[in-house]
Structures are given as structure tokens and as C-alpha cells.
Amino acid sequence: MAAGGRIVLAGTQSGVGKTTISLGIMGALKKRGLSIKPFKVGPDYIDPQFHSFITGVPSRNLDSYLLAERVLQGLFQKNTDDGDIAVIEGVMGLYDGYGTKGDTGSTAHVAKLVKAPVILIINGGGISTSAAAIALGYKLFDPDVNICGVIINQLSGEKHYQLLKGPIEERTGLKCLGYLKKNNDIRLESRHLGLVPTQEVYALREKLEAAIAMVEETIDLEGLINIAYGAEALPPIALTVPPLKQEIRLAYAYDKAFNFYYQDNLDLLRAAGATLIPFSPLADKELPSDIHGIYIGGGFPEVFGEELQDNKALREALLRLAIGGIPIFAECGGYMYLTKGIKDLQGRLYEMVGVFEGIAAMTARLQRFGYNQASIIENSTYVKDIGEIRGHEFHRSIVVPQGVKPLYAIKKQRDGEVIDAWYCGQARYNVLGGFPHFHFYSNLKLPEAFLKACAEYKRKIEL
């Protein structure tokens, strides 16, 4: 990062208001004319959508489980070279990560990798001097984490803030950088997989403007800026992308039903020579013309089952192309869409594309949640033995096709031990689908195989 600064906004735990405060700070700094580069620690897709909405630039994930340390550092540098301040929203509590015996996947780990000062967010409701004990514990737990300040959320007002500010600064040496008052009007709606995506939030602009106004009123923005610009310089790291000898046109599903994509995945595909063309399985009656591959990410197809079913023309077009051999890569919601149907929580069955056997049935409880490692066990026409791919699953749906060999062998580890193993996904025609979300930089052989298959399909149809 040549001339900019960076800060991490970390919570003591989930639910302390990290996203609301992060959005308010991003918006307030942008109003001051600063170029903000937003990031999210961890695999979450929805928080980055809010970052992008308020900053006007893509937000990217920094995940030290999915990515090797040097890759994470390189991606961070590549995406911050032309910005003033990188604002990194943490995940869960500061030290919560993958397992309990290390810090991989945690906000603390990422903060150390990118040498970013940390601002600790505390819920001040129902406590006074105890807030100082909380802050001191977080400061002392890992001296290599550079905690530089504290923001307190859920306060009644200035008097309440002063009651906590004095003990925190006296007992910890950390500077308090302000607070936010309780305000349910700026609370963002949730769904069974977290926040509701930006496309579905009513009066989102008004809610975010209210959050920005609160931040401007009671948070020390100058103090934050000074801390951000005091970050240590980073040594330069260069990254490579899979080579592609022939340019291709790649369609990807993007609308209210499908919008879960890692921005770095899309960037990598473009850098490798692909022209990305969005299409809507909800609204478009035909696919983009002259395409050589299709990418269908995750989302909430179960919420829009009737609309997806009603768009029969697009479903039939997708099936024709699949049978004709076009390479398709589908993850989670995209996999569900390519089955014969989706059954919602009320038992209603909606017809889907029908590339894969079985139906995707929603269940009352979470089926899979967390990081995993996947290996290809069913050699498809374009992905064979590429080794392990790191991924993440978070879904309440199941697909149980009968008599079909699964695509992925998956294992879940904790503190170095395998705690669960299962099979998932299907391969048919030139189509791969399964529940894991993969970060392409976790194994470049996966996007390289997909892109090569798209180029080969282009050569065949042009003969």
C-alpha cells in the first residue's frame, strides 16, 4: 500500500454492532472525501454487499483459513494500492477463528498479517468499570495484536459514555474513540443465514444515512484517521493468475436470488481473460449471446422459488446448453437451482432446471456450517485430480440424489483432527455443482480447469 492507511474494526463478540459501526464509519470517511477500500474478515458474502453499497467500490474478503498467508497479503495489497484508507470489518469476536488452539481464520490473525491497527468495539449496555476489564483482557491476550482504541456501542448517551471512558483509558492506556447510542431504527434485518442482502432491504439508504449521522456526532473520526495512517508499511507481494490463451465470454447469475460471489473470484476470472456478463435467472428470458461458460453462485433461490419456476424459458435454455456441453460451475444456491426442484419450508415444490438428479429440500435446522476441505472424487470432463480445495458451507438445504456418484469428498477439521466427513455434489454433462463455496485462490487449479474448459467449448462451437 503506497500511501494509504488501514484499520480493523473488531468486536469482543458477535452482535456488538460491528457491521453498523463499520458502515457508519465508511460512509462518514467517504463524506470527507477519502477513498475507502472496504474489506470483511471471513467468508461472509452479505456484509461486503453493504460495504459496496455505501462506498461505491467492491468489498473483498480476507480469510486466513481459505487463503495462504502470502496470498491474503498479496490480495490485500493489490486491492489497496489506489485508496486512502482500508476499513476492515472483523468477524465474530476478535480472537475467534478456526478451532481453539490457534488464530487461523480470526480477525486477530488477519490484523497481524496486514499489520493493521485494531479498534475494539464493546457493548456497553449494563456495565460500567467492567468495560475496562474487558478491554484490558483483549489487549493482553495477544501482545502482537495492535489494539489502538475502543468504540463503545449501545449506550444511553454522553453521561453513560463518560462512565465507561474514564476506567478504560485509566486502566488500559487505550484511547476511547467515541460511542453509539441505542437506536433500533438503524438495525439491519436478518434471515436464517445472516443479514438480508442489500437488494431486499427496505429503506436501506435511509438507515445507512442515519448510521452515518450517528457516527459523525459521537465518534472521533480524526482520531480514527490518525490511527489508520500510523499503520506500518507492508513489503510488496506479487500474485499470479491462471493463464488463458484464448478470450472467452462467461455468463454469471446475478440478481436477488443469486448474488454470493467472492469479488476476488470475479477479479481472477477477468484477469485471466474472461469477459463476465451478468444475467438474471429471475427476470431474463434468455441467456447472454455467444457465451462459452456459466458461473452460478449462491444466494437464496428458495425465497424466490415461484419466480424461478415461472421463468421457464431461461430454465429450458440453461438445460439445452448444459446438454450441449457448455461448462457450468455452480455453488450452493446455484447447485440447488440446477436440481429438478426446490422444496421450501412450507413443503411447496418448485420446478427448477433439471440438470442434476434429486430435489433441494429446505429443512428446519442448519445442515452444514463452517470451513471444510474438498477433493474431487468424480472426475468430470474438465476437473480431475486437482488436490484439495478449501471451502465454506452455510445452508439449511439438502440434496439426496439416488444412484448418483457424488462429486466431492469433504472433511471438516478442528485443531488438526478430522471431526466430520461426508460426500456432496454432482457432475453431469460438463456441469459441476455442490454446496461448498470455494475461494479460487485457495487452489488455482480449479479456476484454471474451468477456464480451459470454456476455451475448449468455444473452439468446438466455432469449428
Which residues are 327's β-sheet partners? Answer: none
176: amino acid identity, one letter: C
DSSP secondary structure letters along 160-199: HHHHHHHHHHHHH-PEEEEEEE--GGGPPPEETTEEPPGG
Residue 21: phi and psi, rounded to 5, are: -65, -40
Helix (H) or strand (E) holding 314: helix 312-323
Residues 6+ apart with CB under 8 A from 193: 46, 300, 394, 395, 396
Residues 6+ apart with CB under 8 A from 418: 411, 412
Residues 6+ apart with CB under 8 A from 140: none
Distance CA(445)–CA(34), nearest Å, equals 38
The residue whose grid cell reads 500474485 is: 239
Distance CA(340)–CA(323), nearest Å, equals 15
The residue whose grid cell reads 415461484 is: 306
The single residue of 176, 332, 424, 454 carrying the catalytic annotation is 332
Instruction: Give me 245's grid cell.
Output: 490463451
Distance CA(303)–CA(300), nearest Å, equals 6
In 280-356, DSSP assigns E strands to 293-296, 298-299, 328-331, 341-343, 349-351
274 and 312 Cβ atoms separated by less than 8 Å: no
Measured over the CA atoms of residue 379, residue 383, residue 385 and residue 391, the dihedral's sign is negative
Distance CA(273)–CA(178), nearest Å, equals 46
Residue 171's CB is within 10 A of a number of other CB atoms, namely 15
45 and 438 Cβ atoms separated by less than 8 Å: no
Helix (H) or strand (E) holding 409: strand 408-414
62: amino acid identity, one letter: L
Distance CA(248)–CA(246), nearest Å, equals 6
Residue 280's CB is within 10 A of a number of other CB atoms, namely 15
176: annotated active-site residue: no
25 and 211 Cβ atoms separated by less than 8 Å: no
Give catalytic residue positions: 332
